[in-house]
Structure 1
Amino acid sequence: MAALIYLDAQTVHPVINGEWHRLAGALEPAEAITTLCGITDTPVFMPFSERRSHGIPRQCDECDTIYRRGHGIPSRRDRLSGRRATQE
């Protein structure tokens, strides 16, 4: 019997090259992941305590923009100028 670990894909943010990303799909065992910005890579799992051992990850701007557009959330730039988000 396998050990089941339930994850909410919306809360999993893989760090690639020092930037955290949002997933474009579900996590599957031993499968590559694809981020919203199109990066595909094989996941490696580390303890949460190791998260900052290679510096503090920053957010991927492209993933953030795609996520915000898809959820009707204004971008950081639009919020500062008072504009609304646009759906594409």
Structure 2
Amino acid sequence: MFGSRNSRGESVTCIACGESIPRSDAREYDKHGDRWDRRDKAFEHLCKACFADLCQQPRDGLETTLDAAGAGETDRATFLERFRELSEDDANRD
């Protein structure tokens, strides 16, 4: 239910930095984006430091940008183009 008992004490390799770390100190990464469907799946791993650097994106202003880009009100291609432009504008301001 809470993962394999065989994985306790196991070492894994961080896919970002290559460091070998205890499985208990790692974060699972599912390149298919569906980490909850665990059947017949092998996960890759990130150390906690790489996970924090790579996976935690700022969300300040996200809802405002989604709204300004027309989320839910326009077709996908138009929305993505507007979102990209608005995101680039925000990045250039920093």
**TM-score (norm: length of structure 1):** 0.24
Larger proportion of helix = 2
Q: Point out which structure has higher relative CO (alpha carbons under 8 A, 6+ apart).
A: 1
State which structure, 1 or 2, has the greater radius of gyration over its C-alpha atoms: 2
Q: TM-score, normalised to structure 2's length?
A: 0.22
